[in-house]
Amino acid sequence: MSRVSVPCHVKGTVALQVGDVRTSQGRPGVLVIDVTFPSVAPFELQEIMFKNYYTAFLSIRVRQHTSMHTPAKWVTCLRDYCLMPDPHSEEGAQEYVSLFKHQMLCDMARVLELRLILRQPSPLWLSFTVEELQIYQQGPKSPSMTFPKWLSHPVPCEQPVPLLEGLPDPSRVSSEVQQMWALTEMIRASHTSARIGRFDVDGCYDLNLLSYT
């Protein structure tokens, strides 16, 4: 299914913390990231993709466009999605993640704004966030082709020529030939990723020193 990236504006992360941020000892365990779409009309969300950086759990809330004149409400579409099975260890800490429409709790038909709520309960990490956030909507469907009339409505065929003695049935032969042609096309289209074993360049392996780049 094709998808199209939606340009979004990711606001800075806001830490949620009890008490004064400056004076309290501990680090915040909850961050909120707001994602707005200033130049795009309400769209149907297909996929959210990002690179995790030490976030353990993710919740997403969405504000959708309603046709009535009621104010749009925030609805939770993803609750406590686990990105790191063990928040204290590195598993899943820097993975690339995709979240799809069918994983969401509600319909994502006319998205106005998204709010990502990141949680990292472990005190071991200095910071956590999600990076390279990208939102995708459904791409255009493949354009329907209009066939010429003679292709979709073939002329009814004339009476078949009576079979000549000793020759095979032409329709059977043509279907067999079609199958063989399909197989040869497949073989021709395939290519391999096998490597050729030479390590020298035209027989020469006279080297400089090893390079550091």
Partner 1 sequence: MLQEESDISLIIAQIVQKLKGSNLYAQLERQAWASLQRPEIKLESLKEDIKEFFKISGWEKKLQNAVYSELSVFPLPSHPAAPPEHLKEPLVYMRKAQGSWEKRILKSLNSMCTELSIPLARKRPVGEQKELLNKWNEMGTDEPDLSLFRPVYAPKDFLEVLINLRNPNYENGDSLSFRTHLGLIQVPLKVKDIPELKECFVELGLNTGQLGIDDSTQVPPELFENEHVRIGQKVLAEQDSAAAQQYVRQGSPTALRAELWALILNISSQPEDILYYEQLKTNVIQHDLLVDSLIYKDVKLTASNDDYYFVFEDYLYQVLLCFSRDTSVLGHFAYNSASPPKSYIRGKLGLEEYAVFYPPNGVIPFHGFSMYVAPLCFLYHEPSKLYQVFREMYVRFFFRLHSISSHPSGIVSLCLLFETLLQTYLPQLFYHLREIGAQPLRISFKWMVRAFSGYLATDQLLLLWDRILGYNSLEILAVLAAAVFAFRAVNLMEVTSLAAAEAVLADLSTLKVMPLLQIFLFATVT
Residue 201 C-beta: closest distance to partner 1, Å: 6
Residue 52 C-beta: closest distance to partner 1, Å: 10
* Count of C-beta atoms within a 10 Å radius of residue 41: 8
Host H or E run for residue 202: none
Residue 206 C-beta: closest distance to partner 1, Å: 5
* Count of C-beta atoms within a 10 Å radius of residue 58: 21
Residue 136 interacting with partner 1 (CB under 8 A): no
C-alpha–C-alpha distance, residues 76 and 106, integer Å: 8
- Joined together, the tokens standing for residue 161 give 């020529």
Sign of the dihedral through C-alpha 171, 173, 176, 181: negative
**Measured from the CB atom, is 56 or 63 closer to partner 1?**
56
**Beta-carbon contacts of residue 29 (< 8 Å; ≥ 6 apart):** 119, 120, 121
Which residues in 171-200 contact partner 1 (CB under 8 A)? 172, 175-176, 179-180, 183, 190-195, 197-200
Residue 91 C-beta: closest distance to partner 1, Å: 4
Q: Could you list the residues that contact partner 1 (CB under 8 A)?
A: 49, 51, 53-54, 85-86, 88-91, 93-98, 100, 102, 123-128, 132, 172, 175-176, 179-180, 183, 190-195, 197-201, 204-213
